[in-house]
Every structure is written in structure tokens, then in C-alpha cells.
Amino acid sequence: MSRVFVAGSINMDVVATAKRHPRVGETVAGNAVFYFPGGKGANQAVAAAKLGAPTTLIGRIGRDAFGAELKAFLAAQAIDLTFVQNTAETHTGTALITIANADNTIVVIPGANGLVEPADVAAPVLAKGDIAVSQFEIPLPAVGAFFKRARAADATTILNPAPAIEFSRELLDLVDILVLNEGELGFLTKTEIRDTDDDTRFIDAARSLQTSREQIICVTLGGRGVLALVNGTPLIIPGRTVKAVDTTGAGDCFVGAVAAQLAAGTSIGEALRYANSAASICVQRMGAAPSMPTAAEVTPILKK
Ligand code: ATP
Ligand code: RIB
């Protein structure tokens, strides 16, 4: 089996649950507070590792209590942390999350994630067939350097451009598989896209992003499922009907699952179907990293 390498953020998620979200300037009473391991990079690495892929995480944490706790949690998921540095200059990345009616708002303070630089991604040795995964909670120069190394090694690159920011055509050219949600698709294509829009609108927007016909664009549509362009042809995978309690990390679960499946040699179509099922399990549990499913949980669902 090939390896999954994730270069990305590692956060402690401080989660408050409430009956509803406060309006600007308003205070509402909450129900509970939780401290969950999170961060897009860590979540994607946990998903890949729990689904059976040998996984390496590249990133930074601070020399503080959150950093120590996160490192212990990630090590317990059998993730290789050789390339996770402890940095003294600042604190571990922290996300302040409010959850009400299964919907979230998030404020992320990057801390140590903001210090990840191209030198951090220079040491890990990738091989042909490995999967390199990144997102935008670490600085763009590090993402670009990581994907250049991955391409040189003949590894497959997966970019999850979240949170959405403008980025160069040069970086997009280095991406084999782009996984993004409808908000990110709207931002990058500068179009108004709503989750109620019909499939053709998503397909047209996805096509406008492609830098080559071979580039796979995969749009996650929450409970509606997934729409992908594979070899230029639209592939629609309906969402599973489940009771969502917390969707935080659903996109990360999807990305990690796709990476793990591709590392195991699965075809892209089957990998996307598998990831759709994995993410439908994730949304039924509280927390980001702790809600990632195991392969033993996903397989029976796929057989149904
Ligand atoms: P987040 O930012 O909350 O981590 P996202 O916006 O990046 O998530 P979504 O499109 O909401 O990603 O969800 C990713 C995938 O998770 C979906 O494509 C689907 O497979 C699954 N999913 C999300 N919400 C639901 C739901 N309510 N029911 C079933 N599956 C869901
Ligand atoms: O994608 C979910 C993640 O985004 C959370 O775990 C939080 O850390 C934010 O970065």
C-alpha cells in the first residue's frame, strides 16, 4: 500500500453548543463546551489513518498544553509525527466553534500553523503512488513547495482549498484532484452558487476551474452528496440520509477517505463513493478529528 502525506493545520477546537447562533452584538446562553482535536490537516490525516492508510502529518504546534494534548491524540491514531515541529514562537492553532442546529460558525487563530514554511515540507520522502494532501490553513508557499515535491516523486496531489482564498494558476496546475464545497466553488469561480442550484450549474462552474481535462474536480454538497468531474465526465453520488448532529470536519473526512482509498489502489469513482459514506458517519457524531470513522464502520454501509 502507498502512503498518505498530509501537510496542514493542527488545531484545538474549542466548541460551544447552543440552541441557536447569536446575532452580531448579541449574547446567548450555551449548553456545553468541548475541547476536540481538529484543524483541517490533522482531521484529514486522522481520517486517512483510521481508514487504514499509513499516514504522515507535516505541520507545527506550539510548546503548550494544547500542543502536547494534540500530539498525544494524533500519535494514538498511529499517525507518523516525525515532521510535526514544536515551535516556541507562538501558540498551538486554536479554533473557536459554535454549534447550533447541527450548523457551525468557526473563527480560526492560526498560531503555529501560520509558521509552516517550504523548508518544513522538504524532508519527507514521497514515492510514486503516494498521495499528497493539503489545504489552506497553512501558508501558500508551503503548499506549493509540498506539491512540487509530490509531482517530482510522481505522487498524486489532492488540494482542499479551504478556507477559500485566491491562489495562483501555477498552484492549481500542480493539483490532480481538487476537493471543495459549494461555497469555495462560488468564491473561486466568482459566481453566486446556492445549494439549491441544479447539477448543471455546479458542473459548469467545476469545468471552468479545470486547468486540464484530466484534472478531477470534486464538489461536496453536504447532505446532497458529491458531484465530480472525472475525465471530463460528471459523476453524481447522492448523499446518504442520516441525522446530522455536527458537520464540523465532514469535508475533511471526505478528503482523508479519498486519499486513503487511492493509496490502497482503489479507482477514483469507488474512492469518491467510499468517502461519501465515510463522511455521512462523521456528521452523526460531535467533534472533528474524534468523529472520523474506521474502515470497519464504513464497509457495512457500502454493502447496503
Ligand atoms: P465542513 O466545512 O463542515 O467540514 P464541508 O462544507 O467542507 O464541511 P460538506 O459538503 O458539508 O463539506 O460535506 C462533505 C461531505 O460530507 C458531503 O459531500 C457528504 O458526503 C457528507 N455530508 C455532509 N453533510 C451531510 C449530511 N447532512 N448527511 C449526509 N452526508 C453528509
Ligand atoms: O474543517 C474543520 C476544521 O476547520 C475544524 O476542525 C477547525 O479546526 C477548523 O480549522
pLDDT in tens, 172-231: 999 999 999 999 999 999 999 988 899 999 999 999 999 999 999 999 999 999 999 999
pLDDT in tens, 94-130: 999 999 988 899 999 999 999 999 999 999 999 999 9
Active site residue 173: no
From 251, 186, 184, 178, select the one nearest 216 (Cα to Cα): 178
Ligand 1 site residues, Cβ closer than 6 angstroms: 181, 220-223, 225-226, 239-240, 242, 244, 247-252, 254, 276, 279-280, 283
List 13, 80, 130, 252, catalytic entry = 252
Contact 213, 231 (CB under 8 A): yes
The type of residue at 170 is E
Contact 3, 127 (CB under 8 A): yes
CA of 130 to the centre of ligand 1 (A): 25
Residue of the nearest CA to atom 17 in ligand 1? 222
Q: What is the mean pLDDT of the chain?
A: 97
pTM value surpassing 0.85: yes
Using DSSP bridges, classify how beta strands 131-135 and 30-38 pair: parallel, antiparallel or unpaired: unpaired
CA of 40 to the centre of ligand 2 (A): 5
